[in-house]
A and B are shown apart, each in its own frame.
Chain A
Amino acid sequence: DIQMTQSPSSLSAFVGDRVTITCRASQSISSYLNWYQQKPGKAPSLLIYAASSLQSGVPSRFSGSGSGTDFTLTISSLQPEDFATYYCQQSYSTPITFGQGTRLEIK
């Protein structure tokens, strides 16, 4: 199984900050990496697919990069509605696996 490891596990930041979350795969997954946002009590929502493609309707302050084993999700200027938990997920091979999540909190 491909293990997905996110860092940090939690993060505090101010509105307006630039934030980067990292996701590392235990083996190369090419660009088969996706990012989701989940707010408390809600279902996850897709932000980025194929490592760097922005899902329709997602604000342009979100961006993704990377390939192989190392990936990043960047939020260029944090907005109040961005405080949530973020998950990476590999779609390279089954079993499909997710990172453990990064909780982004208001400082």
Chain B
Amino acid sequence: EVQLVESGGGLVQPGGSLRLSCAASGFTFSGYAMHWVRQAPGKGLEYVSAISSNGGSPYYANSVKGRFTVSRDNSKNILYLQMGSLRPDDTAVYYCARDPNPGGQYRLYYFDYWGQGTLVTVSS
């Protein structure tokens, strides 16, 4: 069974940093591109970031470019999102999600499995 479990969320002050993790199991993690999607409280879904199966070709939405860094450790089956210079409008539930292409290098940019999400609150 495919499982994605996020962790690392919490309350952080504006300007602060936080690292989110997404532990994957039930599939060959190193064979799939991965994504981050967020959802502000009571709002819709916003695409954040992607990374290829080998850790290359990171992609960022303009809203987080230069502040967030996506990475992965295929030996540990973990996806990361390092968030810096956090702002109140970064407050959201952050989901990791799997790209369905088993090849991993070419991203389909839709999401067949999602984690349960981790809440990040940016507030003083």
Contact = CB atoms under 8 A, between A and B. Distances in A.
Contact of B45 (A46, A95, A98): A98
Contact of B62 (A34, A45, A49, A95): A95
Nearest to A93: B109
A30 interface: no
A45 to B, nearest CB: 7
Interface stretch (B8-16, B76-84, B110-118): B110-118
Contacts of A98: 44-47
Interface residues of A, number: 20
A95 to B, nearest CB: 6
Interface in B82-119: 95, 100, 108-112, 114-117
Contacts of B95: 43-44
Contacts of B111: 34, 36, 44, 46
Interface string B28-55: 0000000001000000111100000000
Contacts, number: 46
A99 interface: yes
Contact of B112 (A46, A89, A101): A46
B117 A96 contact: no
Interface string A78-107: 000000000101010011111111000000
Interface residues of B, number: 19
Nearest to A44: B114
A49 B44 contact: no
A34 B35 CA distance: 15
A89 B116 contact: no
Nearest to B6: A43
Given A46-B112, A95-B62, 17 more contacts: A36-B45, A36-B111, A43-B114, A43-B117, A44-B95, A45-B114, A46-B111, A49-B100, A49-B112, A55-B112, A87-B45, A89-B45, A91-B109, A95-B47, A98-B45, A99-B44, A101-B45
30 contacts: A34-B110, A34-B111, A36-B45, A36-B111, A42-B116, A43-B95, A43-B114, A43-B116, A44-B37, A44-B95, A44-B111, A44-B114, A45-B114, A46-B110, A46-B111, A49-B100, A49-B112, A55-B112, A87-B44, A91-B108, A91-B109, A91-B110, A94-B59, A94-B109, A96-B47, A97-B47, A98-B44, A99-B44, A100-B44, A101-B44
